Every structure is written in structure tokens, then in C-alpha cells.
């Protein structure tokens, strides 16, 4: 029995001293975690692409993507997750808006150990929990200061720009850089709010068209006034003397067979 115990112990020691290997694929970096010893914890440098040796009894290797991550939180259970991941927020009037939201971001290569040290989650877990929570909070923060008609209209791009800036302020220092945040498809509200939005947008469009027609009419009126003024100045500047002067400048020196056709030509010398 004692001999069997010694064999088992020796086998365990041998396994503990043995090494395993894993491969870091292109587009990923590795993180080495020491579970024992004085330097236990996450190493502060990343493992690059290629074969990596590690001791499975004392170490763990996690991989993190460092290429652009694209994700859509959608209401459709057949896209992405099998649950409703859409994001709901409120306007300043309290109107409830629901949206499918897409995001593009990247984990900074040099800060991946810091990301893992803080969150202790995989890239997918960080995306579905930490980042989604930050996106939802940022959208609510911005949208709660805007009217629902602005969110559906010209203010939509403002919402997305401010949300992106907020996310980079909060996550940039942690090693997560957001490149794009956008709404996918139409924003959703209940029918009563939608009818109100449609009526407001239609009224705004008609007002803009009326303003454009007024500006056009004013422009045409101003052009007519300028033309009339120019014609008046021109007509007042035309005198018999001016006509006679222009005729003399154009005369080739030959007298016509009859002067009856030149009533404006005065050949007499004034005394």
C-alpha cells in the first residue's frame, strides 16, 4: 500500500513538473496567470501569436482578441443572442424608446492584462455585461435631456456622437476604445407617441417648405425691384442729345439720298 502511494505521489509530481502548450492565434494575445508562488496573479505583459508553453498545475492561459469587435444588441432573438438584448431609454418628456444598438470597439493590446485584471472576464462576457451596461447608461444620460421628436429627427446623430464620447471617457483609460455606436433600424415607441412624432415632423416639414417658398418669393420680388430701378435709370439717361451723339458716332460720313429719315441729325450750327 505504501509503495502504491509513493507511485501515485511521484506521478503527481511528474505531472506538476510537466508542461503543456497552447497556440495564440493571429489577432489575439495571451494572458498568463500564475496561481501559486510569490508572483501569483496576472502577468503585466501579453503573449504574442504562436506556441506558448505553460504549467497546467500552476498557470492558466487566457486569450483576448485585439482586432475590431462588432456586436449588435437587438430585440430579435434569432440574431446574436437568443434573448432580447435591445436597449430602452427615455426622452426628456418621459417617452419610452426602444432601439437595436450596434457597437464597434477594440481592446488595446498593451492594456489587455489591465482589462482582465479589473474585470476577470472573457472578451465576450465583458461585451455582454460591462460594455452593454455602459452603452445603456450613456444613451439614457444623453437622451434624457432631449425631446423625443429631436431624437427621431436631427438630434439622432448628436445622441450617438455624445454617447461615443462618454464611452471613450469611461472605458478608454481601461484599454477599451470605442470606434462606433449606432442605432440599427428604426427606433421603437408605442403607437400614440409615434403618431405624435409623425404629426410634429410633418408640421415641421410643411413649415420649412413654406419658409422656403417665402424666401423664394422675396428673392424674386427683390430681383424685380432691382430690374425696375435699373430700367428707370436707363430710361432717364436716354436723351435726344445722347441718341444724336450715338448716331453720329456710328455715321460713316455719307449723306443719305434723303434726310427725311434722319430727323435727329441737326446740321445747323448753334449761334
CA distances from 113 to 31, 33, 41, 108, 119 (A): 6, 10, 10, 10, 10
Span 68-87, pLDDT tens digits = 999 999 998 777 677 889 99
**Confidence bin at 67 (pLDDT 50/70/90):** very high
Contacts of 24 (CB under 8 A, 6+ apart): 30, 47, 48, 49, 50, 51, 52, 63
CATH for 69-189 is: 3.30.479.30
Span 88-142, pLDDT tens digits = 999 998 889 999 999 999 999 889 888 888 888 889 999 999 999 999 999 999 9
End-to-end, the C-alpha distance of the chain in Å comes to 157
Contact criterion met (CB below 8 Å) for 111 and 64: no
Listed by start position, the domains of the chain span 2-65, 69-189
Amino acid at each position: 500500500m505504501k509503495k502504491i502511494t509513493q507511485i501515485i505521489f511521484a506521478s503527481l509530481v511528474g505531472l506538476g513538473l510537466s508542461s503543456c502548450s497552447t497556440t495564440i492565434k493571429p489577432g489575439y494575445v495571451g494572458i498568463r496567470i500564475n496561481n501559486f508562488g510569490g508572483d501569483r496573479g496576472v502577468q503585466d505583459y501579453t503573449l504574442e501569436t504562436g506556441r506558448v508553453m505553460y504549467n497546467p498545475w500552476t498557470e492558466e492561459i487566457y486569450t483576448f482578441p485585439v482586432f475590431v469587435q462588432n456586436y449588435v444588441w437587438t430585440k430579435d432573438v434569432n440574431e446574436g443572442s437568443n434573448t432580447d438584448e435591445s436597449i430602452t431609454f427615455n426622452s426628456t418628456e418621459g417617452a419610452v424608446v426602444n432601439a437595436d444598438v450596434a457597437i464597434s470597439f477594440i481592446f488595446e493590446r498593451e492594456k489587455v492584462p489591465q482589462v482582465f485584471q479589473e474585470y476577470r472576464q472573457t472578451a465576450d462576457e465583458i461585451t455582454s455585461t460591462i460594455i452593454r451596461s455602459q452603452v445603456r447608461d450613456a444613451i439614457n444620460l444623453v437622451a434624457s435631456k432631449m425631446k423625443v421628436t429631436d431624437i427621431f429627427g436631427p438630434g439622432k446623430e448628436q445622441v450617438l456622437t455624445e454617447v461615443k464620447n462618454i464611452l471613450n471617457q469611461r472605458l478608454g483609460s481601461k484599454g477599451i476604445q470605442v470606434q462606433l455606436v449606432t442605432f440599427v433600424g428604426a427606433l421603437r415607441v408605442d403607437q400614440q407617441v409615434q403618431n405624435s412624432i409623425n404629426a410634429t415632423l410633418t408640421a415641421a416639414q410643411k413649415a420649412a417648405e413654406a419658409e422656403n417658398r417665402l424666401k423664394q418669393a422675396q428673392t424674386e420680388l427683390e430681383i424685380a425691384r432691382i430690374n425696375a430701378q435699373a430700367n428707370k435709370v436707363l430710361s432717364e439717361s436716354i436723351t435726344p442729345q445722347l441718341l444724336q451723339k450715338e448716331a453720329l458716332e456710328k455715321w460713316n460720313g455719307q449723306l443719305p439720298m434723303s434726310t427725311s429719315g434722319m430727323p435727329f441729325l441737326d446740321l445747323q450750327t448753334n449761334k
